[in-house]
Amino acid sequence: MERRYFGTDGVRGVAGEPPLTPEFVLRLGQAAGAFFKSTVRRPVVLLGKDTRQSCDMLEAALAAGLMSQGVRVEHLGVLPTPGVAYLTRALGATAGVMISASHNPYQDNGIKFFSAAGDKLPDEAEAQIEGLLNQEFKTDGIGTVSDFREAERMYLDFLASKGGSLEGLKVALDTANGATFRLAHRLFQRLGAEVFVMFNTPDGRNINKGCGSTHPEFLRQQVVEMGFDVGVAFDGDGDRAILVDRRGREFHGDHVLYLNAMMRREPGVVGTLMSNMGLEVKLREAGINFYRTAVGDRYVYEKLKAAALSLGGEQSGHVLFLDHAPTGDGMLTAILTLKAMRESGRDLAEWYEALPMYPQLLKNVRVRDKHGLMKNGELHAAIQRAESQLAGLGRVNVRPSGTEPLVRVMVEGPAELIEPVSSELVALVERLDAAK
C-alpha cells in the first residue's frame, strides 16, 4: 500500500498546518492505537519530544488518540530520538514515538514511530496505520498516561557504559538548543572530560537556529580561539553529531566512518550516494568493502541488516553502530569516535589529514514540486551530459530532499569542473520549476 502521510522519516510538515494539525494528529493517535491493540492486548507506548514550541500541542493530541484506544502512554519528556528508541527496547514497550523535525527549523515538526525492537516502524506497519485513518473510531477502552521519570538516568547510564575515559580532554559542546541540552554535558563530564557547553538554552523557537550540526561555524571558531581539543555539535533531536578537530575543521560523517572502520577493522561499511569518493578509495586500500545506498538512514540501516554489517552512515553525522544501538545516536557516535581516537594514539586532526577528500559541491534548490521535477526528461538528459563532462573523474547526484521542498544537486570531481557543472544543473532546476 502506498503511504500518503509517512515519508522516509515519519509524518513531517509545518506544525499547525495539514497534516500536523491537532485534529489530524488525534486521528493518527487513534489509528496507531487501534493498530497496536490489534497486535498486543495491553499496548504501552513511550512518547518523547524535542524542544520546539509545537511539541506540547502535538503530544497532547497524539496521547489523547492513543488513550482513546486503550493504550497506556508513558511520557518521557524532552529526550533525544535515540533515547526514545533505546528505552522502547529496554523497557519492553509496544512502540515508541518521537515528536521532532530533527535538524529543521522550529516551525516544522514530525512524528516518528519506533517498533518494540527500537528500530523504525516497518513500511508495512505505517501503511496499515494510514489505512485505518479513514475509519470511524469509537472509544475502545480508556488508556492512562503517566510520566516516566527515570528516562534520562537510564539513557545516560546506557551511554556512559559505551564510552571510554575522556580524562584530560577539553571538549566544547553545541547542543543546538535541542533535545540534548540537559544531557550532553552530563555525559561528557561523567566520562572525565573538561566541558564547555553552548546553545543549551532552548526557548521553543531557537532550536537549530544558527547552531548545531547544520551550523557548526561558531563552534569551530570557539574550538580554535579557546584551545579545545575537540568540539561536538548535535542536531535538534540528537541523532546526529558533527565533530570539530583542534584546528577548527569539520570532522563529518565520512571521517567518523573512516576512523571507526579502521580501528574496528570492519569487513564492510555502508555509506550513501553522497559519501565522498575519498572515503571509498581509502577503505578499499585497507581491504574494507564499501557499499552505497540512497540517501537516508533508513536505507543505510536496511543495507547493514542485509549485509550483516554494523557500521554505516551519512556525511550529516547520522551514523549507525548496530552492535550498540538500533538507530543513529549523536552522543553515542561522539563518545565511540573519541574512544577509538584515544585508542589509536592519534588526535582528530591527524585522522582528518589521513582521509583526503575529493572536491564536492552541494547546492540546495527550493522548488514547488520536487518529485515532479525528478521525472523531467530534460533534467535527466542534463545529468547525463554533466557526468560525461566529468569523464569518469567524478560523480553527479541530483535528488529530492526527504524532509524539505528542496532538490539537492551534488557534483564531485576536479575542482575546476564542479562549479560550472553544478551551476548549469542548478540553473536548469530553477528554470524548470519556474515554468511549472
**What amino acid positions are annotated as catalytic residues?**
102
Q: How many CB atoms lie within 10 A of CB 435?
A: 7
Q: What residues contact 434, with CB distance under 8 A and at least 6 apart?
A: none
Torsion-angle region of 355 (φ positive above 0: left; ψ -120 to 50: alpha; else: beta): beta
Nearest to 32 by CA among 53, 61, 52, 54: 61
Nearest to 61 by CA among 107, 15, 32, 29: 29
Q: What residues contact 124, with CB distance under 8 A and at least 6 apart?
A: none
Q: Using alpha carbons only, what angle is made at residue 276 by residues 331 and 296, rounded to the nearest 5 degrees?
A: 55
Rg (CA), the chain: 22
Q: What residues contact 334, with CB distance under 8 A and at least 6 apart?
A: 232, 241, 243
Yes or no: say if 312 and 256 are a contact pair by the CB < 8 Å rule.
no
DSSP 120: B
- Relative to beta strand 395-400, strand 95-99 is unpaired
